[in-house]
Amino acid sequence: MAFATLERSPPPFFRQGPSAAARLVFYAALSLLAMALDARWHLLGPLRLGIDVAVAPVVEVARSPWLAWQALAGHTESLERAQSELALARQRNLELALTAQREADLERQNAQLRQLLQLRAAVPVHASAAQIVAQARDPFSRKLLLDRGATAGIEPGSPVIDAHGLLGQVTMLSPLGAQVTLITDRDSAVPVEVARNRARGVLVGDAGTTTGGLQLLWQANDGDLRPGDVLVTSGLDGVYPAGLAVARIDKVRREPDSAFARVLCTPLAHVDAGRYVLVLTPQRPLEPAPKPPTPAARRR
């Protein structure tokens, strides 16, 4: 009777050929040989080129997610950088605009101060500079507030002028401030004369308008008045010095049924603009002449 024997070798399906160590040694030797031949005669250059060409699409597909992420991150970063630069540019633009406005304002103030200094040297009376700090909002009451008062030597009734002409008169006074009633106020009255022919009159604020006009009163209908004539202070009131420019005649309306002409004028001073003014010392009225002694006093 035959006994079956146990086969210890693997079946043909699982035969593995040479051992792993043998294959490692073979491929290592083959690699060293290929490296030596390539280093000596560059025999593997075309092979490497072919492999690079064959593998390039696979590499690009593998790199595409990373490249997309880098592009998205770069776009986001560039957008944030652009927004930051835009905000910085806008801020600098605002700062430059503010600086330009301040420089323009300083230039205007410098020009006004230069004009006031020249005018101060030409005015034959004592004058002190002041700054306008506020203006009344009532359209029918035209007044200004100054930053100088009694402590600065300003007196009630002091004339106030700018570089172009008479502005008004100090009507209220405090230790640190003064209120100026403009010549365009409806309660203002300034004795003036025409510079061309010395015709006298009284210049008042035109209460019938809200635009700051002036009217020359008590002018005969056939008087020698022309549009463009300049009116100056006459000095007859003892308050305003003589010769201060006040206004210019705009229109002369001669009505047949009236004995007086309606003379409309425009102030020469910048009543609605400017910042710096000169406050003059008011002129003192002439003292009355002493009365002659009575007969009884003579007998004494």
Q: How confident is the model at residue 191 (pLDDT cuts 50, 70, 90)?
A: very high
pLDDT at position 257: 84
Q: Is 194 exposed, middle or buried (0-12, 13-18, 19+ CB in 10 A)?
A: buried
The terminus-to-terminus CA distance of the chain in angstroms comes to 197
Measured CA to CA, the distance from residue 174 to residue 246 in angstroms comes to: 26
pTM assigned to the model: 0.56
What integer is the mean pLDDT of 262-268? 92
Task: For the beta carbon of residue 188, count every other beta carbon within 10 angstroms.
Answer: 17
The CATH architecture that domain 127-280 belongs to is Beta Barrel (2.40)
Cα dihedral 275, 146, 141, 112 in deg (nearest 10): -20
The string of DSSP codes covering 245-294 is EEEEEEEEE--TT-SB-EEEEEESS-TTS-SEEEEEPPPPPPPPPPPPPP
**In the chain, what are the domain boundaries?**
20-122, 127-280
DSSP classification of residue 177: -
Considering 7-16, 25-34, 246-255, the range whose residues carry the highest mean pLDDT is 246-255
List, for residues 20-64, the tens digit of each pLDDT value: 788 888 888 888 887 887 777 777 777 777 777 887 788 778 878
Phi, psi of 156 (to 5 degrees): -60, 140
pLDDT one-digit tens code per residue, 114-146: 666 666 555 556 778 888 988 876 666 789 999
Looking from the CA of 32 toward its CB, the CA atoms found within 13 Å total 5
pLDDT, residue 5, reads: 55
Tell me the pLDDT of the chain averaged across its residues: 79
* Higher local confidence (pLDDT), 61 or 193: 193
Tell me what the mean pLDDT of segment 83-87 comes to: 82
Question: What pLDDT does residue 299 have?
Answer: 52
| Res. 294: pLDDT tops 60 | no
Angle (nearest 5°) at CA 116 between 191 and 204: 20
Q: What is d(CA 22, CA 19) in angstroms, rounded to the nearest whole number? A: 5
Which pLDDT belongs to residue 168? 92
Pairing of β 159-161 and β 143-146? unpaired
Mean pLDDT lowest among 112-116, 132-136, 173-177, 286-290: 286-290
